[in-house]
Amino acid sequence: MEIQCECGKFRAELTQFPKNTPGRLKCYCDDCQAYLHYLKRDDLLDQNGGTEIIPAYPSDIKLIAGKEFIKCTRLSPKGMFRFSTTCCNTPILNTAPNRPWAGIHRRMYTVKDPHKLDNELGPVKSSVMGKYAKGTPPAGTPQTFDFKGMVTVMPFLLKGKLLGKSNPSPFFENGEAIVAPQILTKEERSKLTDLGHEKK
């Protein structure tokens, strides 16, 4: 399956999708909201401030075009590596070195076909971090990361660990991001978080 940014300059192939994925997940945390505000893409948040991701294994991702348009951001010195495009500010994925997880933003899957995820994966299977949501999140959304969320993702993570699916990752070389990450200061991150709160 091929994924791409909105303008199509960045493209990648998922060699095993949707065979090895726990499905559609939604996160309402402050970090995910702050990141999309940072990209000036809060249009990609749902009405409750949720960010939908569909994970894949890093070793199952093959870059096809647009490597030169990749940007990396970390919301803190120890934060996730968040990759996006400089051509059209499309969030690509969140990941970390040597981790069997690449949380790909739903927009990357739906540029060509808005119904792709509905047809292949069905509805969102799990949502987390409801305490940061705007208004009232969907019924059943836990305040933090609950047992259902763990059950949804742990088999995927364990399988990936056992099969060595963390590497090679097209986003890291020798444990370093292929582009130097911009690390936000506490002040920058705080302003983005406050912006999200203002819109609740």
Could you give phi then psi for residue 128, rounded to 5 degrees?
A: -140, 170
Place 18 in a pLDDT band, splitting at 50, 70 and 90: confident
pTM: 0.94
In words, the CATH class of domain 2-198 is mainly beta
- Report which DSSP code applies to 127: E
Residue 60 has pLDDT above 90, yes or no: yes
Q: Are 167 and 59 spatial neighbours (Cβ–Cβ below 8 Å)? A: yes
Token pair recorded at residue 69: 């348009």
- Mean pLDDT of all residues in the chain? 93
Residue 100 DSSP code: S
- Sequence-distant (6+) residues with CB within 8 A of 32 are 50, 51
Q: Residue 198: its pLDDT value, please?
A: 62
Query: How is residue 163 written in tokens?
Result: 């099969």
* Number of CB atoms found within 10 A of residue 109's CB: 25
Mean pLDDT of 78-96: 97
Whether the CA torsion 156, 115, 124, 25 is positive or negative: it is: positive
More confident call, 195 vs 146: 146
For residues 2 and 120, what is the distance between their CA atoms, to the nearest angstrom? 14
Distance (Å, rounded) from C-alpha 83 to C-alpha 59? 16
pLDDT of residue 146: 85
> Which token pair is 79?
């934060």
Read off the pLDDT band of 196 (50, 70, 90): low
What residue has token string 């059950």?
151
Reported as a pLDDT band with limits 50, 70 and 90, residue 150 is confident
How remote is the C-alpha of 140 from its chain's centroid? 21
pLDDT for residue 162: 97
Dist CA 186 CA 194 (whole Å): 12
- Spell out the domain ranges in the chain: 2-198
Cβ(102)–Cβ(95) under 8 Å?
yes
- Please tell me the distance from the alpha carbon of residue 104 to that of residue 24, in angstroms, as a whole number: 10
Which one, of 10, 111, 12, 109, lies nearest residue 69 by Cα?
10
Q: Are strands 126-128 and 61-65 parallel, antiparallel or unpaired?
A: unpaired
